């Protein structure tokens, strides 16, 4: 229905109706002038005939504006107040309000449906609003054409809950094409083994991807001048393979390094949604234990993967990922153990080499082990931590498995791995 009161005055419409009643102008011309249909036209004519003196096209809204209940109002203010408290706490990695999170929280926790504009309106009226700083324009388009073409792998170190006694590491892996999160885990300590375990989880479930994209952290890359005190002309960047990189080599997976913080910052943005909600939920649930925080992380990853429409792809990550697999738009390859190795423990492991002495023994950090091998031969140790207490060492020599032993981690002293 046309908004006549915004386009014409009462006198203008009355004049046209009078000319119609006097048969000076046909109805269809008046309808076109006013921009209304036949039903609306005859309603105006009837209104004019019933009371020409009080005829008006100005109307007053009779329906009352639908408000929200006092309970909803109370909960909005409660959550906004909590948000403000977290933002003011310098130990918490939050700098802005998240009104979408509050909307979801009201629905999930209180079973209350509230529109996002309503929450923003209450925030602005009650001093719970911060203007966002202007950001430089950046390219957020998907640069890959296949699932598995590029796995964005990252770790973040934050205090994920104000009630936690320490900061924790969040290790995440994300498929660039679909934005589907393949792995997410909280850890108290970041080690090479933690990142190798993440790869093991991904590769065994999805297969070998085409490439990984990481920063130049010492776990991922040896950099001359940073990781070595004495410079040697033959020991340059990438000449020494890190434990993590050696696993990728065995799996024939490429690695691409972000050469600047700006480049790495671009791929870290997809993790922002998860990290932001993890902090807010941990704070509201009074989380102090990393095991409880992991449960919340799992819930948020599930929500992100299966329910959240991604702002870049405009699709839910899981469905985009599955569609790519179904349409054969995937560079994931079937996981196969590289010969001559026999077990996944030979692939996803820590590695070192030793020379067997005349007494058929080797030494690892003052731990002496007898090996079923020939003296003076070089043996490769593939170490697989079974748990926090024991590791399994698999001894390889000349492409043959010559021995398997279990050793206490405290005796092995591989904590730096």
pLDDT tens, position by position, 105-138: 999 899 999 999 999 999 999 999 887 666 554 4
- For the stretch 353-369, pLDDT in tens is 999 999 999 999 889 99
Specify the 3-state DSSP secondary structure of 117: helix
- For the stretch 63-96, pLDDT in tens is 554 678 999 999 999 999 999 998 888 878 788 8
Show the CA angle centred on residue 168, arms to residues 97 and 265, nearest 5°: 60
Look up residue 166 and give its DSSP letter.
S
- Dihedral of CA atoms 389, 197, 302, 103 in degrees, nearest 10, equals 80
Local confidence band at 399 (pLDDT 50, 70, 90 cut-offs): very high
- For the stretch 242-288, pLDDT in tens is 999 999 999 999 999 987 655 555 555 557 788 889 999 999 999 99
- What whole-number distance in Å separates Cα of residue 144 and Cα of residue 28? 57
Contact by Cβ (8 Å): 339, 356: no
Q: Where are the alpha helices (DSSP H) in 230-335?
A: 243-250, 261-268, 272-284, 290-306, 317-326
What's the pTM value of the predicted model, to 2 decimals?
Answer: 0.76
How much is the CA Rg of the chain, to the nearest whole Å?
Answer: 33
């Amino acid at each position: 229905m046309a908004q006549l009161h915004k386009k014409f005055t009462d006198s203008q419409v009355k004049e046209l109706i009078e000319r119609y009643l006097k048969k000076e102008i046909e109805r269809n011309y008046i309808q076109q002038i006013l921009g209304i249909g036949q039903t609306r036209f005859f309603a105006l004519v009837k209104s004019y005939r019933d009371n020409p003196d009080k005829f008006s096209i100005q109307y007053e809204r009779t329906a009352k504006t639908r408000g929200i209940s006092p309970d909803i109002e109370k909960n909005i203010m409660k959550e906004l107040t909590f948000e403000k408290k977290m933002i003011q706490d310098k130990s918490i990695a939050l700098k802005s309000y998240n009104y979408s999170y509050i909307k979801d929280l009201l629905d999930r926790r209180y079973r209350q449906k509230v529109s996002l504009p309503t929450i923003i309106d209450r925030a602005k009226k009650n001093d719970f609003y911060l203007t966002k700083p202007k950001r430089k324009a950046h390219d957020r388009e998907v640069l890959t054409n296949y699932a598995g073409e590029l796995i964005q792998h990252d770790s973040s170190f934050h205090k994920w809950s104000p009630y936690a006694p320490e900061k924790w590491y969040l290790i995440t892996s994300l498929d660039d094409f679909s934005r589907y999160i393949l792995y997410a885990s909280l850890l108290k300590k970041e080690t090479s083994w933690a990142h190798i375990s993440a790869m093991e989880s991904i590769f065994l479930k999805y297969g070998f991807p085409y490439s990984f994209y990481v920063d130049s952290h010492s776990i991922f890359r040896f950099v001359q001048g940073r990781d070595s005190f004495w410079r040697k002309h033959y020991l340059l960047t990438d000449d020494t393979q890190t434990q993590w990189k050696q696993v990728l080599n065995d799996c024939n997976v490429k690695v691409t390094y972000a050469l600047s913080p700006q480049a790495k910052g671009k791929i870290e943005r997809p993790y922002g949604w998860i990290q932001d909600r993890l902090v807010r939920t941990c704070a509201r649930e009074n989380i102090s234990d990393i095991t409880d925080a992991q449960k919340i992380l799992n819930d948020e990853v599930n929500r992100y993967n299966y329910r959240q429409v991604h702002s870049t792809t405009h699709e839910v990550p899981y469905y985009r990922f599955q569609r790519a697999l179904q349409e054969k738009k995937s560079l994931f390859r079937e996981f196969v153990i590289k010969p001559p190795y026999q077990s996944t423990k030979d692939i996803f492991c820590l590695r070192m080499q030793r020379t067997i002495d005349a007494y058929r023994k080797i030494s690892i950090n003052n731990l002496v082990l007898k090996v079923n091998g020939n003296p003076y031969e070089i043996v490769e140790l593939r170490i697989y931590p079974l748990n926090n207490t024991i590791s399994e060492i698999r001894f390889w020599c000349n492409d043959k498995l010559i021995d398997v032993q279990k050793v206490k981690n405290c005796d092995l002293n591989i904590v730096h791995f």
